[in-house]
Amino acid sequence: MKLYALQFRLESPPENEKKVFEALSRAEPGSLVLLPELWHGGVSPEAVRSLAHLTPELLRKLRAVSRKKGLLVAGTLPLKREGKLYNAAFVLDRGRLAGLRGKRKLFPLFGETELFSPGKERLVFNTSFGKVGLLICFELRFPELVAEVKREAPEFLLVPAQWGYARREHLRVLSRSRAIELQAYALVANAWGEHAGTRFAGSSGIYSPWGEALAYAEKGDALLEAVYEPEELRRVRRELPVY
């Protein structure tokens, strides 16, 4: 099974949508595809507020592609629920909404604490591909969230992100270390370049349960690709038991 993590420079919402659906068209049927955090319009409060009403239709389109190609597709979009706004991560499993959760740890430097309400949902979801843990960008820094994910021993850790350039080395270190801690395939999908006055780190990657970088892009638009090998995951957990 193929694993994909999409990295791109944010542009206008129509251009961003075009990049996402072009990437999904390139993905092999039956594969897992991770999109960046807030990929439709970025992290600026103006974009989030103006685009949130489009999220239900975007999810409908994503579900249709997920169903047609048998994909697992994950990422985040702004979502209004019961009068509150969330940075909502979604997991689409062959067209089925397998998971939906609001970001718990909101990033103050991007004004998220004033913009979004924190979520309270679980961090791990059952899918036909296996168990999927989901940490959204800033949440990657919190060991207690990683420990919560670890209790369910997921095969995959997915990290959609809009991680800033000044903290790029932190992203590289944390991505690899979380793969090692969880003995799971870790996928990180980040933006790169400048958008709305913010420079993003790129540095997206796919890491093995042993912490090896199977695919990595420091900058540039890229659909990173790796192969999921379940026997490798079982071998690592068997030879170095941490569960």
Q: What are the residue boundaries of the structural domains of the chain, listed by start?
A: 2-239
pLDDT digits (tens, 9 = 90+) for 131-186: 999 999 999 999 999 999 999 999 999 999 999 999 999 999 999 999 999 999 99
Q: 127-142 burial by CB neighbour count: b if 16+ within 10 A, else e? A: bebbbbbbbbbbbbee
Bridge partners of 201, per DSSP, are: 192
Strand 156-160 and strand 185-189: the pairing is parallel
Task: Give pLDDT, residue 20.
Answer: 99
DSSP conformation letters of 105-134? S--GGGTHHHH-PPP-S-SEEEETTEEEEE
pLDDT per residue rounded down to tens, the chain (243 residues): 999 999 999 999 999 999 999 999 999 999 999 999 999 999 999 999 999 999 999 999 999 999 999 999 999 999 999 999 999 999 999 999 999 999 999 999 999 999 999 999 999 999 999 999 999 999 999 999 999 999 999 999 999 999 999 999 999 999 999 999 999 999 999 999 999 999 999 999 999 999 999 999 999 999 999 999 999 999 999 999 999
Task: Give pLDDT, residue 102.
Answer: 98
Please answer whether residues 152 and 181 qualify as being in contact, where contact means their C-beta atoms are separated by less than 8 angstroms: no
Strands (E), the chain: 2-7, 32-34, 72-81, 84-93, 96-102, 124-127, 130-134, 156-160, 185-189, 192-195, 198-201, 204-207, 213-217, 222-227
State how far the Cα of 15 lies from the Cα of 94, in Å rounded to an integer: 25
Token output for 10: 């944010």
Helices (H), 160-219: 168-182
Please answer whether residues 5 and 215 qualify as being in contact, where contact means their C-beta atoms are separated by less than 8 angstroms: yes
State how far the Cα of 151 lies from the Cα of 243, in Å rounded to an integer: 8
Token output for 155: 């095969």
Cα-based distances in Å from 156 to 140, 149, 185: 14, 10, 5
**Dihedral (CA of 11, 101, 66, 2) sign:** positive
State how far the Cα of 70 lies from the Cα of 49, in Å rounded to an integer: 32
Task: Give pLDDT, residue 114.
Answer: 95
DSSP-based helix, strand, coil % in the chain, nearest 5: 35, 35, 30
Is the backbone of residue 145 left (phi > 0), alpha (psi -120 to 50) or beta?
alpha
CATH of domain 2-239: 3.60.110.10
